[in-house]
Amino acid sequence: MTRRLLLSHLSLMLFVLLALEVPFGILYARSELSRFSHAAQQGAMTLAEVCEDKMEHGLTADLPELARAYGQRTGSRVLVAGHKGTVLTDTAARAPVGRDLSAEPDISTALRDQPAVGTRSDPSTGGEVLFVTVPGGSDTAIACVVRTVYTLGSLKAKVHGTWLALAGVGLGVLTAVSLIGFALARSITRPVQALERATAQLAEGRITDPPATDHGPPELRRLAVSFTRTATRLQHLLQAQQAFASEASHQLKTPLTALRLRLENFEPHLAPCAHDSLDKALGELERLSRMVQGLLALARLENSEIRPEAVDLSAVVADRAAIWTAFADEQQVGIIVRGATGARVWAVPGALEQIIDNLLSNALRVSPPGTAITLATTTAPREGGGTPPMTELHVTDQGPGMSEAERRSAFDRFWRAADADHDGTGLGLPMVRQLTRACGGEVALEAAPDGGLDAVVRFQCAESRLHRE
């Protein structure tokens, strides 16, 4: 975030500098060239008037010395031509005396009483030069033509120096803006980073490094104060809930066990007709005990932060099926395991065992004798391109099944079907859903093809996730 703020700040400042300095530099270069051209033209016109005066008084022999003196004073090359365009003198000695230059554009223009000013490339130096060609005299009597040629190296050096000065000023401004922008960005992002760290710590259950409430802009300081107050309250609530979950398991077990013993002690002293009521009371007490254990297990699960790890789903399914086979045989129900071996999924430690146990326990309650419960493991791609495949665990029974409305409500706590004739607590399926979500998966109840219920638990494949990471 600091980098983005600083880059945006510098980008804006760079745009402003370019918008100001580039036009200024271009305008300065043009104005310097215009000023230099105007001064050269004024000097050439003055020299032409002097040459015209010399020629009128018959002092043509003074022209070479006059041209040489002017050239030395102004740093230019001077050429003087007569009224027909023939060379009278050339300080650069490039055109011999008497050579006709009337065909050259600038000389021809000056002979028509029009000055010619422009730039061109000099073949001898390879650089650019400024030439100024002016007439000496009036349109009716052009006595001479004066051409002055200036090299633009010094002017370009001056312009380049100005560009360098502008670049230096811009660099200095950017440096100062960078320091100011970095300090400003840090003053904004440092409290945000502290809030981010504190939020991550709060998600793990405890804030060890609370954000400072005296740094940054006033808005962020107020946000830090509000966050700290909220986080402190949440921590107290979480700690109270964790304390309840840990203490209730010990405090509730003892009275429930004592109550069960007292009821069992009443059995020898009761009339035979009261034994049925005593058995029902003991059954309800057992159901209450399981409900308390389920609630405590859900509370501990919601309060814990456990990271998933790669687990062999096929091995866990085979192990739990072997353990539940004895209970299923008592009810004349078979357990069938299908699917490929070696299917590895991401799950929190111990979650798969609890998920399978709860699903098998529910399936056994509704399975009539002579039927079978199927545990099938399959791997299917998810809908949408680029999504990783999921491993599915199907626990299918041949019981009466559920309607669509019942399947939607089955994961609510304490929910039981209207025609249920078993002593369930209504916490098994909510615990399955909570455990599955902790593993990063999802669970759903579907109608089995041949009747009954198909509990589908989807897990992330460990191999595909490791490949992406």
Q: What pLDDT, on a 0 to 100 scale, did the predictor assign at position 260?
A: 77
Q: What pLDDT, on a 0 to 100 scale, did the predictor assign at position 246?
A: 62
266 and 248 in one domain? yes
Residue 466 has pLDDT above 50, yes or no: no
Among 77-91, 273-287, 371-385, the range of highest mean pLDDT: 77-91
19 and 153 in one domain? yes
83 and 21 in one domain? yes
Strand partners, 345: 311, 461
Q: Which of 396, 393, 384 has its CA nearest to residue 461?
A: 393
152 and 7 in one domain? yes
With cut-offs at 50, 70 and 90, classify the pLDDT of residue 423: low
Rounded mean pLDDT of 142-152?
A: 90
In a domain, 396, yes or no: yes
* Spatial separation of the C-alpha atoms in residues 184 and 2, rounded to whole Å: 9
- Are 430 and 298 in contact by the 8 Å Cβ rule? The answer is yes
> Out of 124-133, 252-261, 389-398, which region has the weakest mean confidence (pLDDT)?
252-261
In a domain, 174, yes or no: no
Q: What pLDDT, on a 0 to 100 scale, did the predictor assign at position 294?
A: 60
In a domain, 179, yes or no: no
10 and 30 in one domain? yes
Mean predicted lDDT score pLDDT of the chain: 81
Q: What pLDDT, on a 0 to 100 scale, did the predictor assign at position 304?
A: 55
With cut-offs at 50, 70 and 90, classify the pLDDT of residue 183: confident
CATH number at residue 9: 3.30.450.20
**Residue whose token pair is 């001479």:** 144
* Spatial separation of the C-alpha atoms in residues 142 and 107, rounded to whole Å: 12
Residue 295 has pLDDT above 70, yes or no: no
CATH number at residue 277: 1.10.287.130
Which pTM value belongs to this model? 0.47
* Spatial separation of the C-alpha atoms in residues 190 and 211, rounded to whole Å: 10
Percentage of the chain modeled with pLDDT above 70: 84
Residue 279 has pLDDT above 90, yes or no: no
417 and 324 in one domain? yes
- Are 147 and 87 in contact by the 8 Å Cβ rule? The answer is no
In a domain, 201, yes or no: no
In a domain, 199, yes or no: no
Q: Domain residues for 262?
A: 210-305
* Spatial separation of the C-alpha atoms in residues 112 and 107, rounded to whole Å: 9
Query: Tokens in use for 374?
Result: 């199927």
Secondary structure class of 420 (helix, strand, coil): coil
Rounded mean pLDDT of 323-349?
A: 87
CATH number at residue 337: 3.30.565.10
- Percentages helix, strand, coil for the chain (3-state, rounded to 5) are 60, 20, 25
Rounded mean pLDDT of 442-468?
A: 79
pLDDT for 27-75, tens place per residue?
988 998 899 999 999 999 999 999 988 888 888 888 899 999 999 998 8
339 and 258 in one domain? no
Q: What pLDDT, on a 0 to 100 scale, did the predictor assign at position 369?
A: 92
Q: What pLDDT, on a 0 to 100 scale, did the predictor assign at position 463?
A: 65
Residue 276 Ramachandran class (φ > 0 left, ψ -120 to 50 alpha, else beta): alpha
